[in-house]
A = this chain, B = another copy of it.
Amino acid sequence: MDPQFDPALDLLIERRIDAPPGALWACWTRPELMEQWFCPVPWKMTDIALDLRPGGHFRGVIRGPAGEAMPNVGCYLEVVTERRLVWTDALAGGFRPKAEPFMTGIITFEPVPGGTLYRGVALHANAEARAKHEAMGFHEGWGKATDQLAALARTL
C-alpha cells in the first residue's frame, strides 16, 4: 500500500487483473486507449492530451449522455513507466495552482503471476472531501471504469 494512504482521508480500489502491467500502462498513457475506458459508459472522455512527465499536463473533456461536457485538467507528478503514475487536479500543467483542488491520484501496477495487482488511491485534503468523493460514487465509478480498463487491456 502506498505509504501516503490514510483510510480516514483517502479512497482505494484494488484489483488483480489478468493482463500485464505494460498493457494497463498503455491504457493509462495512450489517449486513443484512455478514451475507451476512463469514464463508465455511457460517459466518455474525449479531447485527451497527455504530457507524461512531472509538471506535464493532463487534459480531457468528460462528456455525458445528455450533452454534458466537463473539462478535466491536472498535472502529472510522478511517471514511472509501467509501475506508478501520480497526478493531481490541484495543479494544472507547469505546476500552476488551480482554484479548486480535489484529489491526487496514485496508480500502481505491480506485476504478479498471471497479471497485475492494480491499485488506485485517491488522496484528499480532509475527511469532508473524502466523503464527498465517496458520495459522488467513487467505488461504483472507479469500479466500472476498472472493469472497462481490464477488458481493454486483455485485448492488447
Contact = CB atoms under 8 A, between A and B. Distances in A.
B90 A91 contact: yes
Contacts of A54: 54, 77-78
How many copies of this chain does the complex contain?
2
Contacts of A97: 88-90, 101-104, 123-125, 129
Contact of A91 (B78, B104, B126, B129): B104
A102 to B, nearest CB: 7
B91 A96 contact: no
Contacts of A55: 77-78, 86
A9 B92 CA distance: 13
A90 B98 contact: yes
